[in-house]
Amino acid sequence: MKNTILFVSILLFAQISFAQLSVGDDGSGHKVVFQFVSGDTLSQQSLINNLKNLREGWPKAEVEIVFHGNGIWMVMTEKTKYNKQLQEFAEKQSIKMVVCENTMKQKKVEKSQLLSFVGTVPMGIGEIIKKQEQGWSYIKAGL
């Protein structure tokens, strides 16, 4: 009798484990904050690729990108080469994008110079720290 109970228990555990593996993960519950500081176009393309891959694999993950330092150029209307892609990420795929106000002051950038769908935060590093303290996964984007 003990062997039968043990065998049934093992089968049940294996079936539950297999079911969990086969369900697939749509990213629900995952929260990811990207830090982007590069003005380099190869790094910018790398960020675009990372976001595409993340959205394909985890369409329901919560995602935020914090732009500061030279990364701010990527979200400025006059400098970006990725307006269309970033707008699609923001508007169709719910990826939040924010720029560091300290960087804006340092580089003399006005809010009107940013892409319309990009927000601001007082301190980029502070935003990243708060997200990590709230359990968000941290990714330093770029090359």
24 DSSP assignment: -
Q: Global pTM?
A: 0.81
Distance, in Å, from the CA atom of 90 to the CA atom of 56, rounded to the nearest integer, reads 15
pLDDT for 113 beyond 80: yes
**Residue with the two structure tokens 């790398």:** 46
Query: Pairing mode, if any, of strands 95-100 and 62-67?
Result: parallel
Condensed to tens digits (0 to 9), the pLDDT of residues 60-89 reads: 999 999 999 999 999 999 999 999 999 999
What the chain holds in terms of domains, given with CATH numbers, is 25-140 (3.40.1260.10)
Beginning with the edge strand found earlier in the chain, give each strand of the sheet holding 137-140 in spatial order. Answer: 119-121, 95-100, 62-67, 31-36, 137-140
pLDDT for 133 beyond 50: yes
Query: Pairing mode, if any, of strands 137-140 and 31-36?
Result: parallel
pLDDT for 106 beyond 90: yes
Residue of 4 and 29 predicted with greater confidence: 29
